[in-house]
Structure 1
Amino acid sequence: MRRLMVTIGVIGCGWHSRATHGPCLKQYKETIGGVCLAACCDVDEEAAEAYRADFGFERAYGSFTQMLESEQLDAVWVIVPEQLTVPISLQVMDTGVAVFLEKPPGIHTADVIALQEQAENRSIRHRVAFNRRFVPMTNLLIDKLRGQAQDNQIYSITYDMIRINRKDADFSTTAIHAIDAAKYIAGSEYAELRFRYDDLSGIAPGLINIMADGFFRNGVRVKLNCYPHSGSARETVTVRGEGFSYELHLPLLESPNSFAGLICSEKGKVAIIPEEQEWTTAFGFYDENASFLDALKSGGHLMHDLSSSIQSVAVMAAIRNRAETYLG
């Protein structure tokens, strides 16, 4: 059913929400329209008020339950720490409105399944915000791989996630981006993974390097390398195949002067396609918001739902538990 106006509420006005979703929602309202930025909330009421003023929301709250009771919303963005995503999202779903969930949608696979069942039972339209799926260069890479797959074999996908001075005791909630994006690019679920870890607890409690190798169900080999405490900030995907090699360099805020774009090597010929769009668009944030709003307004099909994130969360949980293997 087509809606003339979608009324939006946002739960969570912290750094990530301010850097990504707030600007994207404001941009969508100003350029496309058809949305009302009705309310935002945060336990830090000053942060909520600043978010309201900066991005054009009408009201700010210090309690999400008060916001849900007071506002007539069509959709709610849940942008909170991962341990709060499930309980808050379930309460939002109880109101019957559409839900936009930041990643990871749960800490455990059972969490995601519970959310999915609630969404199915109540016919809740929703999206999980894995922004790498919406990166324009990611989708250009996928288009090129589809063209190659007709005639040439894809050998392997290597995903390198390198960061500077990250000391997270649980880096798996960031590594899930590599887990999910590699799967998305492959167009296949994982069949098996073998994990190795470097113990870096001498630097910070719980800190590890994460390495995994294995296969997707379509037979393509995969390697994941996550180094949170290294000498550079970069995120690259290398796809090798019969007569071709592609290198995707993602645009990180931590490394603004590094090359971002796609390097295509085909039978010895090299083409370099630089990413020239503004960061929130180049890193997929704008489109993950805009396409969700477009679908809510038009009543069109919604992709990137909870069911598509279950295996990514399962692999993330395996890493958190320091598993040696994962079988899909």
Structure 2
Amino acid sequence: MACADVDPGRAESYRAAFSYQRAYTDAFAMIQAERPDAVVLVVPVERTCEMGAAILERGIPVLIEKPPGRTVAEVDRLIAAAATGNRSGAPVPHQVALNRRYAPLVRELRRRLETVPGPPQHLRYTMVRVDRRDPDFSVTAIHGIDAVRYLAGCDYTDVRFRYQEIPRLGPGVANVFLDAVMASGATAHLSFCPVAGVLVERAEVHLHDHTFFLEVPMWAAFDAPGRLQHLHRGTLVEEVHGQPSAPFEQGGFDAELAAFLDDLQANRFPAPDLRAARQSVAVAEAIRAHADRFA
């Protein structure tokens, strides 16, 4: 229908690229004029809470780009806005764009974990990037934090953090390592190395007699189009290769938007919602604060 950006040139180029009918420089003027059935909110994280709350308070369903706020307090404000924006008493439908949950190979791993006996014993998630000198990498690390919760099927109960700071590359640049215990009793190790030599995301899940190796194909990464391997007692029993499709399909971006719209059309509440994303934000907030422990 329409798109908005505070920069008129970007708004118009986006409109032309994606065949929107109109472009605006004021998001709320657009909402008032167009009366959309739903909104996709992709703004700097500093604006997410303010704008997301205003949209939810108007009763408009919204897909919120990750992270849905910098802090748990901001997430709670959004949850409250969703609760008050719907006259029926039910929360306004919304979804948080944690796209790893919709990446085809990640979803396939989750499906297969539900078919093997016993719960996961240990999970490992590695996120490596090239020259990402962000002073706050937690806004990207939240993807790995959330992916482990999704694959484990439960929350963290205890997380300990270690930071390997690299000040010569800029303020806040650091490798970050998490050692965690999940509510199921499984353990997890997460590594975030933003200034290494390759773009990869990889996961391992170990169960009794079973191990899964996953190469997550994010943004045409080194491992693209990705691969999932299932080993049983030392033998490779199955290998699934990702489809050589566009990066936005391999990474789950296309599927998460389709799921959001399909759920709205079918009167289902989308997932993950703000409550489901809350702990992922809490752990990311702990990284931003250079905490030693989250429990």
Q: Return the TM-score normalized by structure 2.
A: 0.94
Q: How far apart, in 1, do the equivalents of 2:220 and 2:175 lie? A: 19
Amino acid at match of 1:142: R
Deviation at 1:77, TM superposition (A): 0.7
Q: How far apart, in 2, do the equivalents of 1:269 and 1:119 lie? A: 49
Deviation at 1:269, TM superposition (A): 2.1
Deviation at 1:174, TM superposition (A): 0.5
Write out per-residue CA displacement over residues 240-291 of structure 1, whole angstroms, 9 at most, x where no aligned residue.
1211111111112252565612011112221221101522222111110001
2:243 maps to what in 1? 276
Write out per-residue CA displacement over residues 163-204 of structure 1, whole angstroms, 9 at most, x where no aligned residue.
011100000110000101101110000000110000111111
Structure 2 CA distance for partners of 1:257 and 1:246, relative to 1, 3 Å: closer
1:305 maps to what in 2? 273
1:296 maps to what in 2? 264
1:111 maps to what in 2? 74
Structure 2 CA distance for partners of 1:302 and 1:186, relative to 1, 3 Å: same
2:96 maps to what in 1? 128
Does structure 1 residue 318 correspond to structure 2 residue 286?
Answer: yes
Does structure 1 residue 66 correspond to structure 2 residue 33?
Answer: no
In the alignment, is the contact (CA less than 8 A) between 2:122 and 2:207 conserved in 1?
A: yes
Amino acid at match of 1:122: G
Write out per-residue CA displacement over residues 206-265 of structure 1, whole angstroms, 9 at most, x where no aligned residue.
101100102101001010100000111100011112111111111122525656120111
Structure 2 CA distance for partners of 1:135 and 1:234, relative to 1, 3 Å: same
2:18 maps to what in 1? 55
In the alignment, is the contact (CA less than 8 A) between 1:152 and 1:243 conserved in 2?
A: no
Does structure 1 residue 220 correspond to structure 2 residue 186?
Answer: yes
In the alignment, is the contact (CA less than 8 A) between 2:199 and 2:222 conserved in 1?
A: no
Write out per-residue CA displacement over residues 81-111 of structure 1, whole angstroms, 9 at most, x where no aligned residue.
1111111111212322111100000001010
Percentage of matched positions with identical amino acids:
34
For these two proteins, the number of residue pairs brought into alignment is 288
Structure 2 CA distance for partners of 1:290 and 1:254, relative to 1, 3 Å: closer
The two structures, once aligned, show a CA RMSD in angstroms of: 1.3
1:99 maps to what in 2? 62
Q: How far apart, in 2, do the equivalents of 1:319 and 1:171 lie? A: 9
Q: How far apart, in 2, do the equivalents of 1:127 and 1:153 lie? A: 27
In the alignment, is the contact (CA less than 8 A) between 2:165 and 2:175 conserved in 1?
A: yes
Q: How far apart, in 2, do the equivalents of 1:256 and 1:213 lie? A: 26
2:114 maps to what in 1? 146
Write out per-residue CA displacement over residues 272-324 of structure 1, whole angstroms, 9 at most, x where no aligned residue.
21101522222111110001111111212322100001100110010100000
In the alignment, is the contact (CA less than 8 A) between 2:57 and 2:82 conserved in 1?
A: no
In the alignment, is the contact (CA less than 8 A) between 1:104 and 1:173 conserved in 2?
A: yes
- Listed as ranges, the gaps of 5+ residues in structure 2 are 87-91
Q: How far apart, in 1, do the equivalents of 2:239 and 2:273 lie? A: 33
Deviation at 1:65, TM superposition (A): 2.2
1:173 maps to what in 2? 139
Q: How far apart, in 2, do the equivalents of 1:302 and 1:290 lie? A: 11
Deviates more, 1:166-175 or 1:139-148: 139-148
Q: How far apart, in 2, do the equivalents of 1:136 and 1:259 lie? A: 11
Amino acid at match of 1:72: R
Q: Determine which of 208, 231, 250 is the counterpart of 1:242.
A: 208
Q: How far apart, in 1, do the equivalents of 2:170 and 2:273 lie? A: 35
Deviation at 1:128, TM superposition (A): 0.3
Q: Return the TM-score normalized by structure 1.
A: 0.85
Deviates more, 1:121-130 or 1:275-284: 275-284
In the alignment, is the contact (CA less than 8 A) between 1:128 and 1:304 conserved in 2?
A: yes
Amino acid at match of 1:244: H
- Listed as ranges, the gaps of 5+ residues in structure 1 are 1-37
2:198 maps to what in 1? 232
2:89 maps to what in 1? none
In the alignment, is the contact (CA less than 8 A) between 2:68 and 2:274 conserved in 1?
A: yes
Does structure 1 residue 42 correspond to structure 2 residue 8?
Answer: no
1:79 maps to what in 2? 42
Q: What secondary structure, in the 3-state scheme, does the structure 1 residue paired with 2:195 have?
A: strand
